Chains A and B, each alone.
Chain A
C-alpha cells in the first residue's frame, strides 16, 4: 500500500537502527515528495526521532540507505555524510524537539548564522571580510534581506533585535523553522513543531508550513502528534509503530486505516468512531 511518489526529495530504504539490544527502527522504507508535506507519525517510542537523527546525520544507521535527490538529478547518500555536510551540501535542514536556538544572540543573528556557509564564501573565508572588501558587504546586505524575508513570514519582524532566549515559546518554534529555512534547504525536517503551541499559534504554524511548501518549494518532513496539524496540512503520512512502518498513504487513507487506528491510537473499538468524528471535524475546520 506504499504511496506512489513520482518526484521524491528523499528516499529511505531498509533503514534499521540498533541501540545495543533495542531495534529502534526496523527495516523502514518510505519516500518524501519534493512538493509534499510528509508526516511521520506514531505513538511515543515508535522511533520517529531516531529516523530523523539518521536522516540528519546525528546517528549513523546500522543498516539502510538514505538518499536526498535534488531537481537537477544530483543524489546524496546521507548515511555516508558528516552531520554538518547534510544541511550544507545535501540541503536537508532540521529543527529539534527541544528547541535549540542561540539564546544569547538576537533573532537576526540567529538567522545570519543560518546563512553561515554562503557568507563565509562571500567573506573569502574571513580574509576578504576583515579587509572590508566590497563583495562581503553586498553579500551581508543580501543576507539581511533574506533574513528579513523569513522574519516576515514567521511574524518575527518586531522581534528582530531581541535575544532569541527572550522570545515566548511559540515564537521560538517559528524562529527555529525560519533559521532552518535560511540554509535554503530542499527538505525541511521538523521534529514536533506544534508541541506546546496554543490553537492560534498552531494555526499560524500551519500557514507557515504551507507557505514553505508552496512558495519556497521546499519539501517538509515532520514528526507530529498534533492531529490538527497532521491531518490539516499533510499530503502524505507514514505511520510507525515499534520501529516498523504500519501504514503509508494520504491522510484520507490513513484515517480510514483500521490498523492505524487500533495500533496508533491504541483505543478500544467503541472509541474509534469518536476519534474518527473528531478527525472529521478537524478536517472540516481546515478546509473551510
Chain B
C-alpha cells in the first residue's frame, strides 16, 4: 500500500511533465493536423537552455530559498522565451512554406528539423550527459511503515510538489486562454475550418505561429522540470519523451487540452507502475502497447470527439 502510494506520487510527477509536452502536440495537431515531430526536441533544447541559465546564475542547493525562487523564475522565463523563438522559427522555416501542400511533406521536414536540433545541440553542447546537482532538496514524509523488511517511508519531495503545482497553474492559464480570449477563439476557428476562418478575417498564419509558440513555451516548462527532477539531460532525451508525449496526446484525444493532460498522467502512471512492479527495461513497451490498445479500441482517445465517417 505504501509502496503503491509512493509510485502514485512518482507517476503523477512524471505524468505532469509528459502532459505539458503533450499539450504542444495536441494543439498543433488540432490546428494544422500534423505531427510536429520536432516538438520533443524543442523540449530537449529548452532543458539545455535552462541548464545554461542555471549555471550562469550560479544557483546551487546552498543558495537561499528566496534567491533560488527568483532565479528559477528567471530561468523559466528565459527558457520559455528562447524555446518560443525556436518553435516560431521552425514553423516559419520548415512548415509554413509547405502549408496546403502534400500531406507527408511537413512530416518529413519535421523529422529533418528533429535531426537538425539533436545534432545541433550535440555539436554545440557536447554528446555527453549533463548532470545537475539538485537545487531543491527536502520534502515531506507522508507516512512510514516499519515491518520485518525494515522501514519504508512514503515521501513527496518539494520538487514533486513544485512540478505538480506549476503544471496545474499553467494548465489553468492555458485552458483559460483557449476558452476565453480572442486568440483562443481564433485557434478554435482555425481548427474547425481554416479557409472559412481566414475569410472571416482571422490571420491564420499568425494564429498557427502563436500555437507553435504556446506549445514551445509549455515544452520549455517541461524541460526545466525534467532537468530539475532528474538532474541529467542529454541531446537525445527529446525523442523518447516526444514519442511518449504524443502517445499521451493521442490517448487523451487529440485536439483536447484536458485530454493531453489526462493522457500524460495515464502514460506517466503506467510507466511508473510498470517499472515498479514488473520491469524497468520494458516500461517503454508498456507505454507504447497502451497506445496501440487505446487506438484500436477507442480511436478518438479518452476525451476526444468521435470522428464520424462522412460518405
Contact = CB atoms under 8 A, between A and B. Distances in A.
A binds B: yes
A55 B309 CA distance: 16
Contacts of A96: 311
Interface in B279-311: 309, 311
A211 interface: no
Interface of A: 49, 53, 58, 96
A49 B309 CA distance: 14
Contacts of A49: 311
A96 B310 CA distance: 11
A53 B311 CA distance: 8
B257 to A, nearest CB: 25
5 contacts: A49-B311, A53-B311, A58-B309, A58-B311, A96-B311
Contacts of B311: 49, 53, 58, 96
A49 B311 CA distance: 9
Interface in B122-171: none
Contacts of A58: 309, 311
A58 B309 CA distance: 9
Nearest to A94: B311
A98 to B, nearest CB: 9
Contacts of A53: 311
A53 B310 CA distance: 10
A96 B311 CA distance: 7
A79 to B, nearest CB: 16
Nearest to B311: A58
A101 to B, nearest CB: 15
A267 B140 CA distance: 77
Nearest to A50: B311
Nearest to B308: A19
B140 to A, nearest CB: 49
Contacts of B309: 58
B123 to A, nearest CB: 42
Nearest to B310: A98
A288 B311 CA distance: 38
A96 B309 CA distance: 14
A282 B77 CA distance: 74
A243 B157 CA distance: 63
A-B interface, 5 closest residue pairs, ranked by CB to CB distance from nearest: A58-B311, A53-B311, A96-B311, A58-B309, A49-B311
B311 to A, nearest CB: 5
A62 to B, nearest CB: 16
B308 to A, nearest CB: 9
Interface string B19-40: 0000000000000000000000
Nearest to B309: A58
A53 B309 CA distance: 11
Nearest to A83: B311
